[in-house]
Amino acid sequence: MDEKLIAPELPVQKDPLSTDFEKGWHKVFSCEDLEVNKAISIDDFATQIVVWRGADGIVRALDLFCKHMGASLACGEVDGNGIRCPFHAWRWNDEGNCDDIGYANKIPPKAKTRSWKVKEEDGSIMVWYDPEEV
């Protein structure tokens, strides 16, 4: 079999409890560099996250890798105020719930991911880290 046809291993979401991050707000990006309907990945936080600015202008953050099959949500599209996965188009809201699967009538109860508190302050996008909340 041609080894190029074998899918690579799924990415691993880093355990945020295995870092030495301290409890508090952490700057992850500049506000002005994140336009409405844009998403970015952040690697230098307690774990990898996707940060996006929804249609309403509010910034949100989730774990980067889709809980369905591991796609990077940062490669997806902002859809309204949610983020839609590039692989199978599941849409995730800012609470970490999948709220739309276009090809299915039911959303699996386990279709949940971790959400992160975000604020904008002094031109910076800040994400809250508290080891007791992850």
> Counting runs of H as helices and runs of E as strands, what totals does the chain give?
0, 11
Task: Specify the stretch interacting with ligand FES by CB under 6 A; choose among 34-42, 50-58, 65-73, 120-128.
Answer: 65-73
State which of residues 42, 64, 71, 125 lies at the interface with ligand FES (CB under 6 A).
Answer: 71
Q: Is 42 or 73 the residue whose CB approaches ligand FES more closely?
A: 73
Q: Which of 86, 81, 87, 110 is nearest to 98 (CA)?
A: 110
Q: Is 11 or 131 the residue whose CB approaches ligand FES more closely?
A: 11
State which of residues 27, 88, 114, 117 lies at the interface with ligand FES (CB under 6 A).
Answer: 88
Q: How far apart are the first and last CA of the chain?
A: 42
Q: Which of 133, 130, 125 is nearest to 40 (CA)?
A: 125
Which residues contact ligand FES by CB under 6 A? Answer: 66, 68-71, 85, 87-88, 90
